[in-house]
Structure 1
């Protein structure tokens, strides 16, 4: 698993070809603990937890890919959305491209 903080990351699903893309300013190990807690205790909180529960899938937390790293939160948010829009097999709920352009300043 990637260490550190201020990253954009991808988590693959064990049972299908989809993956989850996220970004965090936390340490990765703390963010993963949050994902695991959401999956167990709050199955509707986010797309990752919903996928894991509703479709009886399992995320591979030992195979996380760091897609980008920056100390600038706005830049990481932009990079996260960029990776979400270019990925075809995604667990994330995609947002409108206009949000990408209007909500993020670099």
Structure 2
């Protein structure tokens, strides 16, 4: 099974980015996000899911490269760009691109064109 969704939540439990790679109703998404937030905020710091941590690290580094020291406001005000980055990285729940340059080049081309 591949990646079903990507969810970025701040320390207050507010969703800042949610992208699903399978169909779920709004009610199913809310229930799933609520359950995940509760579990993440209460989780043991000793957990080590290396592949997911590496993916999160890649996403943050990619956003850092594009926005320069990315912050929560960058994600909120440029959500479409962050979604585009994710779509370049993940297809049908599988990570297909890990090069920050390749992920960002379509965005940079679009910015130059406008």
TM-score using structure 1 length: 0.27
Pick 1 or 2: higher relative contact order, CA cutoff 8 A, min separation 6: 1
| Structure-2-length-normalised TM-score | 0.26
> In proportion to residue count, which structure has more helix?
2
